[in-house]
Amino acid sequence: MSTVTTDKTYRIMRSHCQAMLIDVQEKLTPHIYRHKKILSKIEILIQGLQALEVPILLNEQYKKGLGDTLPEVMALLDTTKAKTIEKVTFSACDNDEAWNYLAQQNRNTVLIFGVETHVCVMQTALDLLDNGMEPVIIADATGSRNAYDRRQAIRRMRRAGAVITTTEAILFELCRSSRDPAFKTISNLIK
């Protein structure tokens, strides 16, 4: 049996990852289809990513109109390690402060979750692809007001080259082994 070597790796490596939480805000999130289930996945992700020491960038869209990030999300987020940026652009990449922060992390893979899938999540993912980065969409932790809009956005991002995965899959992939110090935390979060 011969082995073929390529420059492309398909495993997502923790040392190459950063995360971006998009617009989980007071006046928007309650209108998202199945928002309670999505919020539960977002909470698991935040805790798991922090246990894995993956940097998190929190984006907030036009706070004057959409309010603050949900208090239950802020209560979980270690604000001494996470960066928060307000934006008015739909794509976080169109915001200079957010783009500069992403670039300075020296981590090419960006895990994206939040709302709305068909607007800010998708436009950010497409811009990351255009700029040579690898967006990984955590599908069960993203949502839109309309389920059809979300499904179409997931399809478009997949066709464009984004990786689509789930909360449990990404946390265990980044952990890699039950010997990892974060494994117990992640295992307990998933139960």
Chain segment 4-63, per-residue pLDDT in tens? 555 667 899 999 999 999 999 999 999 999 999 999 999 999 999 999 999 999 999 999
Could you tell me which of 112, 30, 36, 102 has the C-alpha nearest to residue 67?
A: 30
pLDDT of residue 9: 72
Residue range 96-122, pLDDT digits in tens: 999 999 999 999 999 999 999 999 999
pTM of the model: 0.94
CA-CA-CA-CA torsion sign (189, 142, 130, 86): negative
Residue range 156-182, pLDDT digits in tens: 999 999 999 999 999 999 999 999 999
Residue range 141-152, pLDDT digits in tens: 999 999 999 999
What span, in angstroms and rounded, lies between the C-alpha atoms of 127 and 134?
10
